[in-house]
Structure 1
Amino acid sequence: METAPMSDSGYGWDGGELDIDAYLSRIGFDGERAPTLETLRALQRGHTTSIPFENLEIMLGRPILLDLENLQDKLVRRQRGGYCYEHTILFAAALERLGFGVTALSARVTLGADEIRPATHAVLRVTTAGDDRVWLCDVGFGRGPLEPIEFADGAEAVQDGWRFRLERRTGALDTDLWVLHQYGGEGWVDRHTFTLNPQYSLDYAVGNHYVSTSPRSPFTTRPFAQRFGPEVHHVLDGTTWTTTRPDGSTQTREVEESEIPKLLDEVFGVTLDAADAARLGQPSLTAR
């Protein structure tokens, strides 16, 4: 089942412009193309395990483009990765094309911090056909969840050993404030918080500009990549490569700048052309 996109692209995600066959092939999905919970689970699992997280365009001095044609070219055709806005917009277009109900949201990444941080993480509120439940889809954080989590206070999900919990609190002006927690080596950590205030493509464009250009953004200071799967989560942060398992065990080692392009290719699934690989290996890019 496929549906046409909304006529005003400012309110929709241009799903009608998506090469749905190419996208589904990219994420390894061959199930029923219907807006069901089973399909949603398979789509999110396929997306999060197939398309890596990376900020390398910023490091190479190029802008992050959020129009669907450029996203398809980068993440689907050239099989690169991206960060949250790129992942979320592409996923929203696919869900819209297949008939799901999609509302974009913005989250504040906390990771246990007390100070207020900008709302620069993109997530989705999703509904399915014939089911009154509502689902949180977070495909752009780089470390899961593998599947949607039901919007319910205290909802816990264990997905191939990775553990998540969604909590509803009272925020400013008595609004609902949702908190996604993830369990790791140090126990439960609040990962990000968000309200149900709808976001649109222009809102994501504003956040994307800040994240990709501000000297205060962590993504303008060093190369960063993640690859997430059922059994392992890989992170490259500058020249530090960390591997984490669902039980919380980790291994960390430093890599040489010259190793990074090969590591990105073999471990993270990010293949650069020769010119970009040579440029990325320069110490000036990894030691900002």
Structure 2
Amino acid sequence: MRFARRGAAGAEKPVVVVDDTTYDLSPLTADIDGPFLESDFRARVTRAIESGSLPETSPGDERFGAPITRPSAIYCVGMNYAAHAAESGSEPPKNLVMFMKAPNTVVGPNDEVKIPRNSTKTDWEVELAIVIGKRASYLDGPEQSLEHIAGFTIANDLSEREWQIEISGGQWCKGKSGPGFSPLGPWLVTPDEVDASRLRLRSFVNGEPRQDSSTSDLIFDVPYIVWHLSQFLVLEPGDVIMTGTPEGVALSGRFPYLKAGDVVELDIEGLGSQRQVYA
């Protein structure tokens, strides 16, 4: 199943795509949020389609919002690809690096993003994002993680590198929480539709290739990430985990940072694509 939220910002309507048919989810839920995701949502949707209670719909060119409402938390894994750690001037981490982003940074996958005032080092990062579907706390092992995952989506973990590194005070969050710094979507794709362990992910700036890698190169894989985080914090339904970005960002020194007028495109195999114009 593929879930999305379509419509103007603040007025998105939930839809689901099953076997190339799009259904309006409004009779089942007002939105794609934590309570919906923890309610055995896939079985509920299947029953509703079989009973004929979900009308078919054709959103056409209607805007994609983020595929979930504002999460209670956005957790991020840093330097989770060895080559990206190297281009950042760091050794691959021996322990999982975690930081957080403000939930109000979430925007739609194709929304315009404004470069923050006084920013000179705004950077892109294509990432596989996990969306939690079931409360996770002190899981016994990584083998339990999948049952707590609602699905996967694309994230652009935008970063202001001067604020993140040079004037951070030791924490990364200052450079990670600018307005619009977490484009998500277009789709929330359930785990049965993709193999999250081997997805190709790419980014382009003004049509020129930047990142091209695979989630098979993650240092800490998806099951480990969910299990590990559950040992330190409670993952709630609807929470987002960004799993890290591969090499090929402006921080490497090989490419210029973003400026007004630039176009960033991201895609992950099986999850769709994003396109943002920067202002």
Q: Same fold by TM-score, threshold 0.5 exceeded?
A: no
TM-score (norm 1): 0.28
If each structure's helix is expressed as a fraction of its own residues, which one has the higher value?
A: 1
Higher RCO (CA 8 Å, separation ≥ 6 residues) = 2
Task: Give the TM-score normalised by structure 2.
Answer: 0.29
